Amino acid sequence: MRIAYLDCFAGISGDMFLGALLDAGVDPSVLHDAVASLNLGASLKVEKVDRSGISSTKVFVLDETHAEAESHSSHAEHHAAQSGAHTHGHDHTPEKKHEHHHHGRHLSSIRKIIGSSSLSDKVKQTAIHAFELLGASEARIHNVDVEKIHFHEVGAIDAIVDIVAASAGIHSLDIDRWFCSSLNVGGGMVDCAHGRFPVPAPATADLLRGLPTYSADPQMELVTPTGAALVRALNPSFGTQPPMRIQRIGYGAGTRDPKGFPNILRLSVGESETASKLGTDAVTVLETALDDLNPQITAHVAEQALQQGALDVMLTPVVMKKGRPGTLLTVLCDPDKAPALESFILRETSTLGIRIRQEQRSCLNRRHQSVETPFGAIRIKRGLLAEEELNATPEFEDCRAAAAAHNVPVKRVVQSAIAAYHASNSK
Q: Looking at this protein, which amino acid is placed at residue 407?
A: N
Same domain, 87 and 194: yes
> How many structural domains are present in the chain?
3
Do you find a cis peptide bond into 200, omega within 30 degrees of 0? yes
Same domain, 310 and 381: no
Instruction: Provide the pLDDT for residue 191.
Output: 82
Average pLDDT over all residues of the chain: 86
Instruction: Provide the pLDDT for residue 108.
Output: 87
Same domain, 288 and 263: no
DSSP string, 236-286: PEESSPPSEEEEEEEEEE-S---TT---EEEEEEEEETTTTS-EEEEEEEE
- CATH number of the structural domain spanning residue 359: 3.30.70.1380
Same domain, 178 and 325: no
Q: Give the lowest-confidence range in 124-128, 284-288, 312-316, 383-387.
A: 383-387
Residue ranges making up the domain that contains 132 = 2-272
Domain end: 272, 299, 332, which one? Answer: 272
Same domain, 41 and 162: yes
Same domain, 265 and 303: no
Same domain, 323 and 405: no
Greatest mean pLDDT range, 61-70, 154-163, 184-193, 329-338: 329-338
Q: How far is CA 393 from CA 133, 367, 418, in A?
A: 30, 11, 7
Domain end: 323, 347, 363, which one? Answer: 363
Q: Give the lowest-confidence range in 25-29, 102-106, 142-146, 237-241.
A: 102-106
Same domain, 207 and 355: no
Q: Is 106 helix (H, G, I), strand (E, B) or coil?
A: strand
Instruction: Provide the pLDDT for residue 18.
Output: 98
Q: Give the lowest-confidence range in 14-28, 279-293, 325-339.
A: 279-293
The rounded Cα 210 to chain-centroid distance in angstroms is 15
Instruction: Provide the pLDDT for residue 139.
Output: 83
Maximum Cα–Cα distance for the chain, whole Å?
71
With bands split at pLDDT 50, 70 and 90, how would you rate the model's confidence at 279? low
Same domain, 346 and 395: no
Same domain, 232 and 91: yes
For the cut 50, the answer to whether the pLDDT of residue 375 exceeds it is: yes
For the cut 50, the answer to whether the pLDDT of residue 7 exceeds it is: yes
Domain end: 312, 347, 363, which one? Answer: 363
Q: What is the DSSP letter of 176?
A: S
Q: Give the lowest-confidence range in 206-220, 273-287, 351-365.
A: 273-287
- CATH number of the structural domain spanning residue 374: 3.10.20.300
Instruction: Provide the pLDDT for residue 72.
Output: 41
For the cut 90, the answer to whether the pLDDT of residue 262 exceeds it is: yes
Q: Which residues of 54-92 are buried (b: 16+ CB within 10 A; e: fewer)?
A: eebbbbbbbbeeeeebbbbbbbbeebbbbbbbbbeeeee
Same domain, 236 and 291: no
Model confidence pLDDT, tens digit, residues 116-166: 999 999 999 999 999 989 888 888 887 777 777 766 533 478 889 999 999
Same domain, 151 and 290: no
Distance CA 95, CA 81 (A): 7
pTM of the predicted model as reported, rounded to 2 decimal places: 0.62
Q: Looking at this protein, which amino acid is placed at residue 301?
A: V
Distance CA 283, CA 306 (A): 15
Q: What percent of the chain shows pLDDT beyond 70?
A: 86
Q: What percent of the chain shows pLDDT beyond 90?
A: 65
